[in-house]
Amino acid sequence: MRRLTVLIITLGFLSSNVIAQRTIKEEYKLKFDDVLNLMETKYVEHPKFEMLIDEAIVAMVKELDPHSEYMTAEEYERMNEPLTGNFEGIGVQFNILKDTIAVVSSISGGPSEKLGIRSGDKIVMIEDTVVAGIGITNNDVISKLRGDKGTKVRVKIYRRGVNDLIDYTIVRDKIPIFSVDAAYMLNPEIGYVKVNRFAQSTMDEFNEAMDELMPLGMKHLVLDLRGNSGGYLNTAIELSDEFLADKSLIVYTEGVSNPKRENLATSKGRFEKGKLVVLIDEGSASASEIVSGAIQDHDRGLIIGRRSFGKGLVQRPFKLRDGSTLKLTTARYYTPSGRCIQRPYEEGNEEYRKEGQRRRDNGELFSMDSVHVDDHQEYFTDNKRVVYGGGGILPDVFISLDTSENSDFLRDLLSNGLFYQYINEYVDANRDELNSKYPDFETFDAKFDIEGKFMDEFFAFAEKEMSPKEKKGNVISEIDGEEIDASVKKSDSKSEEKDFATRKAEGMAASGKIIRTRLKALLARTIWQTEAFYRVFNADDDAILKAIESIDDKTFRRLKLSYN
C-alpha cells in the first residue's frame, strides 16, 4: 500500500510538472500573440510581419545549440543540394577572373561537356546581356545559369584562337555532385578513396570505387575523410558497415524526446578484412566522426591525423507550413564505447565557432601534447585501448599541421587567384600540345617538366598581376571548397615594399615545393578532372606517407588492430 501511495504521489508530481510546463509555454505563446497584436494595431506604420517573425525565429533557435537552424525554403534547398547529389543547371565549374566568367571545367556528363564547352572558355553574354566587365558576382552567375531541367539558356563564349564569339544554346539538366573525389592505387597493394561528404549517392560511388580497385590487387585501404564535414547519418552507418563484422554496434542516438536507438552492422561488408587507415583532421565532423569513431572503438583500423571537429548532435528537418524548414537538434550520437564526441557549447555560439582558432593558438594543431583531454571521459575500445569523449575523435597517430612552407609570396599568389588564372590561360594556349604529348595522366605525371619555360612564364604572369594596384572580386576554389577574399589590402608584412625578384627568391626558398606541386596538380585537374589533382598533391602528403608506412610496419600488430 505504501509503495502504491509513493507511486501515486510520484505520478502526481510528474503530471503536475508537465502541466506546469505546458501552462508556462501557453502563457508565452499568448504573450507573443499580444506583442503581434499591439504591433498590428498600435505601431506607427504597417509592420513587415513576415520579416519580423522570421528574424524572431532565427534569434530563438540560435539560443538552443550551434547546429539547430531555421531556413527559408530557398536556403534549405541550396543547403541540401550537395547531399541530394545533384542540382539543375548547365554543368560548369567557374571562377570570376578579371571580371569575366572563366570556365574551369565542364562537369563530366553534363550538358556543357556534351556541347564541347571546355576549360579556358570565357562566358561573355548570357541571353542578350553582356556579363563581362560589369562586376558580376558568383551569386549572379549561379542565378542566371541554374534553372529547371529542360529549360534553355543561350550563352556566347570567347575562345582563344576563334575570331567570333561562339553561340551555344544549352538545355539545362540534372548535374551530378560527386562525393568521392578520388579512388586510385597508392602502390600495388594499397588503395586510396577520398570522400568529401556523406550524400545520397556516396555509397553508389564508394562501391564503384571498390569495384575498380579490388581487381587491381588492393589488399589494404586508406579512407580519406579530411575536411569532410558530414552529411546523412544513414550514409555514415552504411559506410561503416562495409568495414565491421555482423552485428557490431556502429552508433547509437539518444535524446530527451528520442529513446535510445542502436544501429548495428550487417553481414554485407565488402572490406571486413585487410588493413584500414582512416585520415581525419579538424575539418572532419559529424558523419565522418561516426565512421572514424566506430572504426577506432572496434579496433578495426588506424586513425591518422589531427583531432576531429567534435560534432555529436543529430539534426532532423521539420517542414513548416510556408515551406521553410526548422533543422532541429533531436538527439546526441554516441560511438560504440559510449563516447559523446560533441564539444562543449555552453559559452554560446560565438565562442563555439572560435574553436578552430583556439586550437591553433594553443598549439594543438602542431603537437599531440597540447591537446586537452577530459580524464573524466575515459572510455575503452574492444581491445581495452583508452579513448576519450568530450570533443572530437583523437587520432591513434598524430600528424602535425605543416606551416613551414608558408610565405608572404605564397599567400599573395593564393589571395590574388594567380594559380587558377595562370593554369586557365596556359591550358587554353597549349591545349593541342598538351593533348598530343600527354595522352593520359600517367604519362603527364612521369614526364611533365614543371621547371624551365613553364615556371618562367608563371613568374612573368605573376609579376604583371602582382604589380601594386587594387584588385577586386572573389575567387571560388572548387578544390579547397573555400572562398578566398581577393579584395586586396595593403600587406602588413611589407612585402609590397620589396621588388618582385626579391619576393620571388624569398618565397621560393620557403614555398617552392608547394608552389610547384600546386601548379602541377591544378594543371592535371584541368585536363583530367578532380582525381588527377589528388594524385599529384598526395604524392608528398605526410598523412598518406605515414599511412603507407603504418600499413607496411608493425603498427597494426602493436595496437592489436583487426585486419585478418
**Number of residues written out for the chain:** 564
Look at residue 7 and tell me if it is in a domain.
Answer: no
Are 160 and 308 found together in one domain?
no
Look at residue 171 and tell me if it is in a domain.
Answer: yes
Exactly one of 68, 284, 286, 292 is catalytic; name it: 286
Are 379 and 434 found together in one domain?
no
Residue scoring higher pLDDT (83 or 548)? 548
Average pLDDT rounded to a whole number, residues 360-373: 87
Are 512 and 373 found together in one domain?
no
Are 426 and 501 found together in one domain?
yes
- Cell of residue 388, nine digits: 576519450
Q: How confident is the model at residue 478, as a pLDDT? A: 31
Exactly one of 144, 194, 311, 504 is catalytic; name it: 311
Q: Which residue has cell 599567400? A: 411
- The CATH number for 366's domain is 3.90.226.10
pLDDT-based confidence at residue 278 (cuts at 50, 70, 90):
very high
Condensed to tens digits (0 to 9), the pLDDT of residues 426-468 reads 888 888 899 899 999 999 999 998 888 999 999 999 998 887 6
SS3 assignment, position 476: strand
Condensed to tens digits (0 to 9), the pLDDT of residues 124-135 reads 999 888 888 888
Residue that finishes a domain, picked among 334, 368, 401 = 401
Q: How confident is the model at residue 361, as a pLDDT? A: 87
Q: Which of 65-74, 471-480, 487-496, 554-563 has the lowest mean pLDDT?
A: 471-480
Q: Is residue 384's pLDDT more than 50? A: yes
Look at residue 35 and tell me if it is in a domain.
Answer: yes
Q: Which residue has cell 532532423? A: 316
Range of the domain at 284: 180-401
Task: Tell me the CA distances in angstroms from 289 to 128, 248, 271, 409, one per residue in order.
Answer: 49, 17, 19, 36
Condensed to tens digits (0 to 9), the pLDDT of residues 489-521 reads 334 444 456 788 899 999 999 999 999 999 999
Q: How confident is the model at residue 23, as a pLDDT? A: 73
Are 59 and 97 found together in one domain?
no
Residue that finishes a domain, picked among 157, 176, 195 = 176
Look at residue 208 and tell me if it is in a domain.
Answer: yes
Q: Among this protein's residues, is 311 annotated catalytic? A: yes
Q: How confident is the model at residue 488, as a pLDDT? A: 34
pLDDT-based confidence at residue 276 (cuts at 50, 70, 90):
very high
Look at residue 342 and tell me if it is in a domain.
Answer: yes
Residue that finishes a domain, picked among 401, 418, 445 = 401
Residue 62 C-beta-side C-alpha neighbours within 13 Å = 10
Instruction: State the DSSP string of 411-471.
Output: HHHHHTTHHHHHHHHHHHHHHHHHHHH-SSHHHHHHH---STHHHHHHHHHHHHHTSS---
Residue scoring higher pLDDT (27 or 260)? 260
Q: Which residue has cell 558576382? A: 137
Look up residue 150 and give its DSSP letter.
T
Average pLDDT rounded to a whole number, residues 279-301: 96
Look at residue 73 and tell me if it is in a domain.
Answer: no
Q: Is residue 480's pLDDT more than 60? A: no
Query: What is the C-alpha to C-alpha distance for residues 73 and 323, in angstroms, rounded to an integer?
Result: 5
Query: What is the C-alpha to C-alpha distance for residues 117 and 296, in angstroms, rounded to an integer?
Result: 46
Are 227 and 264 found together in one domain?
yes
Are 244 and 388 found together in one domain?
yes
Q: Among this protein's residues, is 286 annotated catalytic? A: yes
Are 189 and 324 found together in one domain?
yes
Q: Among this protein's residues, is 34 annotated catalytic? A: no
Look at residue 470 and tell me if it is in a domain.
Answer: yes
State which amino acid sits at residue 81: E
pLDDT-based confidence at residue 18 (cuts at 50, 70, 90):
low
Are 267 and 356 found together in one domain?
yes
Look at residue 10 and tell me if it is in a domain.
Answer: no
Looking at the 3D structure of the chain, how many domains does it have?
Answer: 4
